[in-house]
Amino acid sequence: MANDIYRRCGCRDENKKQYGAKCPQLAKDPKHGSWGFYVAAGVDPATGKRRQVRQAGFPTQKAAREARNKAARDLDQGTFVKRNTERYGDYLDGWLERHRDTGKGIRATTYDNYARYIRNDIKGSELGRMMLSDIRRYHLNDFLQGLSAAGRGAVTVRRIAAVLQASLRAAARSQRIDTNPATELELPKVEKKRIQAWQPEQVGHFLDIASHHRLGALFELATFTGLRRGELVGLRWIDVDLTRRQLSIRNNRVQADGRVLDNDTKTDDSYATIDLSERAIGALVAWKIQQDQERDAGQEAYSPSGYVFTMEDGRPLKPQYATRLFEKLRTEAGLPKLTFHGQRHEYASLLISSGEDIAIVQKLLRHSSITITSDIYGHLVGSAASNAAEKAAALVPVKSRGAHTLPSQPSIPA
């Protein structure tokens, strides 16, 4: 492999023909031009012709030699991947389309988020203009640190990093690149915020205000089941058993890029059949009666959809409509800021305050692990556990004044 390392430049003569390796400047200036290599790659089985692997653009002879040795080694082991000159931004467009939600790919909402990050953050950056095979881990870390320095939140930066990781993992799996550089990235730390929940009296006040709206039962069910927004507006009567006082969570109604879609539940753990409290059943029964009355009054103008919560003409609710209605009622009630999803936190808070075990809370909220439940609601468990301990101690009667309770301790003389 004596002559497989070469040096050349892009200078041209008066006829606009490149000098290549014959440029006189190469002999005068050791930094002029760049280095490259070629390695024999056997015979093409399709054409019977000899193949060569060529690569140029290395700043030094040493760098070209190291790349040559690696290419030769990979060829011997059958792991060589030809250098991909496709730009990363162009690759991302194709990758995203290949992973559009088809039942096995990413969901529609995730697709829209990924498309927005690719369009607004990655494609116009220096990283997006790089050749796919040239990307290294430090390029990715520099890009992410630049986002943080520009004021992007830690959660957003980590979501954009997820796009980098998923896309480059796919590129390595499909042998577009030889290794995946998006491993062990330096990601910003997300500050954990304690869940702020309303007090039980505030919850009651909100439900009193909501009861005057035709969809008051929606918020009753949200508070006493912990269902997510998409699960609530996607709930169908075929999934509700009023006799057994149960409902099955099978549908998740989401809004993505102006479209409303019905998907399966968020995760396998989210699919469940849950028992309903007396209050939740009462709210559903009262709503069923009202919905039937609206159907009878609407007659031909009514469009039965089979969904539990609907507009006056029978059409299913849009997720954003439920959010806007919640905010309107919250403002009317004069209560502190809370998101629609906060009603799920309210349910967890009520369970924990009543002394329910964290493992039961996990099952009722359908979290995939108890660790997630503890991370979110661990600070609420402390006060509830303290109250439970006090209640347990109060069950034991005190018959002797010598019992070790705080009020019975003798004063300490000065």
Task: Report the candidate in 75, 54, 76, 70 with the shortest Cα–Cα distance to residue 5.
Answer: 54
The topology (CATH level 3) of 200-389 is hpI Integrase; Chain A (1.10.443)
pTM: 0.60
* Interatomic CA distance for residues 198 and 200, integer angstroms: 6
Choice among 5-14, 147-156, 242-251 with the minimum mean pLDDT: 5-14
* Interatomic CA distance for residues 119 and 103, integer angstroms: 24
Choice among 65-69, 153-157, 380-384 with the minimum mean pLDDT: 380-384
- The residues with which 253 forms a beta bridge, in sequence order, are 262
Q: Do residues 168 and 139 make contact, with C-beta atoms less than 8 angstroms apart?
A: no
Three-class secondary structure of residue 38 per DSSP: strand
**Average pLDDT for 7-35:** 85
* Residue 3: per-residue pLDDT: 56
> For residues 87 and 397, which has the higher predicted lDDT (pLDDT)?
87
Condensed to tens digits (0 to 9), the pLDDT of residues 246-262 reads 999 989 998 876 788 88
pLDDT at 31 over 80: yes
- DSSP codes joined into one string, 149-204: HTT--HHHHHHHHHHHHHHHHHHHHTTSSSS---SS--PPPPPPPPPP---HHHHH
Condensed to tens digits (0 to 9), the pLDDT of residues 57-73 reads 788 888 888 888 887 87
> For residues 388 and 145, which has the higher predicted lDDT (pLDDT)?
145
| pLDDT bracket for residue 394 (50, 70, 90) | low
The listed range with the strongest mean pLDDT (62-66, 101-105, 135-139, 199-203) is 135-139
Condensed to tens digits (0 to 9), the pLDDT of residues 333-380 reads 999 999 998 888 888 888 877 777 778 878 888 877 777 676 666 656
> Which amino acid type is present at position 84?
N
* Interatomic CA distance for residues 281 and 147, integer angstroms: 49
**Average pLDDT for 183-201:** 84
* Alpha-carbon distance values, 22 to 11, 17, 19, 26 (Å): 10, 11, 5, 8
Phi-psi region of 166 (alpha: psi -120 to 50; beta: other; left: phi over 0): alpha
| Intrachain domains 88-173 and 200-389 with the same fold | no
pLDDT at 165 over 60: yes
> DSSP class of residue 18?
B
Mean pLDDT over each residue of the chain, to the nearest integer: 82
Choice among 8-12, 71-75, 171-175, 405-409 with the minimum mean pLDDT: 405-409
Q: Do residues 34 and 8 make contact, with C-beta atoms less than 8 angstroms apart?
A: yes
Per-residue buried b or exposed e for 222-239, using 16+ beta carbons within 10 Å of the residue's own CB: bbbbbbbbbbbbbbbbeb
Q: In the chain, where are the structural domains located? A: 5-77, 88-173, 200-389
pLDDT at 195 over 80: no
**Phi and psi angles of residue 53, each rounded to the nearest 5 degrees, phi first:** -100, 120
Condensed to tens digits (0 to 9), the pLDDT of residues 71-82 reads 787 777 666 556
pLDDT at 383 over 90: no
**Phi and psi angles of residue 70, each rounded to the nearest 5 degrees, phi first:** -65, -40
pLDDT at 286 over 60: yes
pLDDT at 99 over 90: no
Q: What percent of the chain has pLDDT over 90?
A: 40
Query: What's the distance, CA 316 to chain centroid?
Result: 26
pLDDT at 2 over 60: no
* Residue 218: per-residue pLDDT: 96
The topology (CATH level 3) of 88-173 is DNA polymerase; domain 1 (1.10.150)
**Average pLDDT for 144-149:** 94
User: CA neighbours within 13 Å on the CB side: how many for 158?
Assistant: 8
pLDDT at 406 over 50: no
> For residues 97 and 410, which has the higher predicted lDDT (pLDDT)?
97
Q: Do residues 6 and 52 make contact, with C-beta atoms less than 8 angstroms apart?
A: no
Q: Determine whether 101 is exposed, middle or buried from the number of CB atoms within 10 Å of its CB (0-12, 13-18, 19+).
A: middle
Phi-psi region of 337 (alpha: psi -120 to 50; beta: other; left: phi over 0): beta
The token pair that represents 222 in the structure block: 């949200």
Choice among 39-53, 158-172, 180-194 with the minimum mean pLDDT: 39-53
Task: Report the candidate in 49, 45, 47, 41 with the shortest Cα–Cα distance to residue 4.
Answer: 41
* Residue 359: per-residue pLDDT: 81
* Residue 102: per-residue pLDDT: 46
* Interatomic CA distance for residues 335 and 203, integer angstroms: 9
CA angle 214, 217, 220 (to 5 degrees): 140
- DSSP codes joined into one string, 206-228: HHHHHTTSTTHHHHHHHHHH---
